[in-house]
Each structure stands twice: as C-alpha cells, then as structure tokens.
Structure 1
Amino acid sequence: MAEEVVLHGKWASLFSKRVELALKVKGIEYEFVEEDLTNKSEALLRFNPVHKKVVIPVLAHNGKSIAESPVIIENIDETWKEGPRLLPQDPYERAKIRFWAGFLHQQLFEAMFSVLKTDYEAQERAVKEVHEKMKVFEEGIKCSYPGGSPIINGDNVGLLDIVVCSILGAHKAQEEILRVKFLDQEKYPRVTSRVKALTELPSVKEAMRPHEKLVGVLQLKRARALESATA
C-alpha cells in the first residue's frame, strides 16, 4: 500500500517551510494542504486534540499526525532512514546541531522579527541585536566546525541548514522591506557563504517562498505591527 504523507500548513510560514525542506531533502512525496486558520479544516482540527490548540504545521503519515516543526523533522529523520540523514548519528554532534538550531530560532529569529515590527530607535536597537546574534553564530560555527560548515555527509542538507534557510533564505525580501542588510560576506563569511550555497540547491529553490509574494506578506505584517504599536 502506498504511503500517505500530508503536510498541513501555510505557504508563508517558515515553520511549514522547514518541514517541506526536510521532506524534499529526504525525497519523500507528499501532499501540501494550505490551511486557512480563520476557517480551519476538519482534518486540522482533528489533528490538534491537545487543549483544542490549533498549531501548524501538522504532518499526517498514514493517518497518524505529528505537530510542531522540530518534532516533525526529527520524526521524518527517524521514520525514513533510507534518505540522507538530517541529524548526525553521534550523540554529541547531534546535541551541537540541536543547540545551534535552538539558538537561531529562539534568539536570531526573535531579533529579526523585532526589526520587522519596530521603527526608529527601537528598530535600531533590534538591528544591533540581530548583528550581535549573527556574530555569535558565525563564531560558534567557526569554533564548532573548523571545516567551515555543520553539514553531515558531503553536501547533504541537515537540520541546521534547514533552520538557517527558513530564517535567512528570504533575506533579500527582508532587506527590501526593511532597508537593513542582515547578511554581510565580510562580517559573517561562513554564514553568508552557506546561505548562498543552500539557496542554489534545487530542493531548496523548490521549497522557498516566492520573492514577490513574500515581500507582500512582510509589508502587511510590518504595517499591522506598526499600526498596533501606535493604537
């Protein structure tokens, strides 16, 4: 019997994109269901039984559902062992990947989101914080991976690459809206080079959000955030 793999998410969600990237890297065929969170599908409601909280993305594999992108990605890696590994087998190396993935999500992403939703002095402080986090990540990669990149096998894309892509892969759209440069080859050569290499990979290109559509979404989010701040 053919496997049924269905991803419920939103095209603009970086969390959904992380799971899409993981599926594409693994070579897993799947169906993507675009969810409208103002008019949730019955399937999405059924897949979110805990405290009636609806989250995306949700991956349904042969009728069994998993929520939260970090959990989904690790489950994909364990379920489809025949594909490229997303996490190293070595426990210590795996722990390092998880640490940096958490750092990017909890600190760099939050700082970048603050840039999007602020203006004037508050935005300047947020931009400074982004660059502080970028510097920490650049130095961390330099120390943890002297070869230059936390890849697992050759040129395979791993979990950390997926998180990097979801946050920094759309930097051109972010810079267009905010007039702020996040990636700098001179300041962050390892991070910048890795992002450029990743975004040229066919699997990553296929999963990336369209530039013009993303610009529109970011403009709308920024306008709403600034309006809410002044209300």
Structure 2
Amino acid sequence: MAGEEKVQVFGFRSGSYSRRVELALKLKGVDYEHIDEDMLNNNKSDLLLKYNPIYKKVPVLVHNGKPISESRVILEYIEETWMESYAILPKDPYQRALARFWAKYIDDKVVPAIEKAFRSNEEEREKRIEEAHEMLEPLEKELQNKLFFGGDKIGFVDIVGLVLPGWMHASEEAAGFELLTTHKFPNLNKWIQDYMNHSVAKEVLPQKDFLVAFLNKVVFGRNN
C-alpha cells in the first residue's frame, strides 16, 4: 500500500512552515516529493494555485491527488493517516489538547513577537525584546526538565516550534543582537541544541549561512 502512495509537499526553502511538514513525514518514514515554490519573488506555480486557491501559499501536502493546506492541519492529517509509525501527538485526549494549545500559542503569540523584535528599529527594540521575552517565558517553564516538549522525543509542539532551532541563531546574527539569552532561557537553549543535534531534524533544518544571507537581503534590505 505504501509503495502505491504519492505524497508531494509544495514548500519554500526558507519557510519554517514547510519544514514542519517535511520533518513530520521524515519522522514517520514517509517518502515524499518536495516541490519548491518561488515565494520570494511571488512566482507561484499553477499547481500551487490549483491546490490552495484560498490562501495561495505554502505548505501544501498532496496525498494521492488530494491537497491539504495550513501546516498544523497538515501535521494532524499526517498523524491520522500514518498512525502505525512514530506518534506525533499523545494518545491521551488531555495531553493531545495541551499539545494543540501550545502549538497554537507558538503560532499566535511567540512567532509574531519574535518577528517584531527582529524587525524593530533602535528606538523600539527594548520594548519589542521585552514583549518577545514575555511570550517565550511560558515555553521556558513548560519545558522544565524535559528533553523535548513531546517528552523524550520530538512531538507536535516541537515540530510547530521548529522556527526556533531553525531560524533563531540566524536571525540573531542578521539583526545584530541576542534575543534568546542562555541565562534567561536555559531550557529553551538546551532544547534548541538537542533539536539541532537530532539525526532526523538535521535533515530539514536550513543552513545558518544561507538563512543569514536570506534575512539580510529580504528582511533588512542589505546586499552584503
């Protein structure tokens, strides 16, 4: 059955949301075809517009011709479709609800606050950093002594939080200041290091030098 399946991921090389989907598939051991979209130049393929006509963005998972969009929705689809291998979500209903809560918190609160901090000018930077820290503190407490948010292995919240290990250090270098300091966020920093050293995660995490160059050009408008 698995050999007859066709799985495609329409994604973007620098996009953390696309990498979420790829990481989940790799953890599950699902073979897939990656189709890179030129989102940087807003040059979207006809297939992407066909498969995601409402949002017109990546990622899109196409499974046997059926498209699914929005990364967290895709992750749940992957979990429910390939249940026999590597559980992404906990079996316990309460723990599943908590995982969904923290995943939504990352997307709704943490990511926007971090983006505002890195894009801030010198006048507003201190305020934006403080706001980002305020959003990060609950994650720091939630990790406690766990290796990952999913316990001893990467789970749903970790996959959604891929933006931190994947993009944080590059963003700090490009912006010229440290946001996630070790003394203030020891748990998150350890989590990031463990994440970056994970054998499967390494396959999808982007190269730091590439990201720094990308951020300098796209976010900060620097040519060098």
TM-score (norm 2): 0.90
2:165 touches 2:196 (CA, 8 Å); kept in 1?
Answer: no
1:151 aligns with 2:153: no
Pair 149,40 (structure 1): closer, same or farther in 2 beyond 3 Å: closer
Percent of pairs with identical residues:
35
Equivalent residue, structure 2, for 1:73: 75
Pair 147,6 (structure 1): closer, same or farther in 2 beyond 3 Å: closer
Distance in 2 (CA, whole Å) between partners of 1:192 and 1:116 is 18
Indicate the SS of the match to 1:78: helix
Indicate the SS of the match to 1:33: strand
Equivalent residue, structure 1, for 2:84: 82
Q: Report how far residue 224 of structure 1 moved.
A: 4.6
Distance in 1 (CA, whole Å) between partners of 2:110 and 2:125 is 15
Equivalent residue, structure 1, for 2:200: 203
1:164 touches 1:195 (CA, 8 Å); kept in 2?
Answer: no
Distance in 2 (CA, whole Å) between partners of 1:129 and 1:140 is 18
Pair 24,92 (structure 1): closer, same or farther in 2 beyond 3 Å: same
1:111 touches 1:130 (CA, 8 Å); kept in 2?
Answer: yes
Distance in 2 (CA, whole Å) between partners of 1:206 and 1:15 is 15
Pair 140,101 (structure 1): closer, same or farther in 2 beyond 3 Å: same
Out of 201-210 and 117-126, give the one that drifted further: 117-126
Encode CA deviations 1:67-88: one digit per residue, 9 max, x unaligned: 0000000000000012111111
Indicate the SS of the match to 1:202: coil
Equivalent residue, structure 2, for 1:44: 48
Q: Pairwise CA RMSD of aligned residues? A: 1.9
Distance in 2 (CA, whole Å) between partners of 1:220 and 1:116 is 14
1:100 aligns with 2:102: yes
Distance in 1 (CA, whole Å) between partners of 2:147 and 2:34 is 34
Aligned residues: 218
1:91 to 72, 90, 93: 93
Distance in 2 (CA, whole Å) between partners of 1:106 and 1:175 is 21
1:173 aligns with 2:152: no
Q: Report how far residue 66 of structure 1 moved.
A: 0.2
Out of 20-29 and 71-80, give the one that drifted further: 20-29
Letter aligned with residue 70 of structure 2: E
Q: Report how far residue 211 of structure 1 moved.
A: 1.2
Distance in 1 (CA, whole Å) between partners of 2:219 and 2:121 is 10
Distance in 1 (CA, whole Å) between partners of 2:187 and 2:59 is 30
Distance in 1 (CA, whole Å) between partners of 2:120 and 2:218 is 11
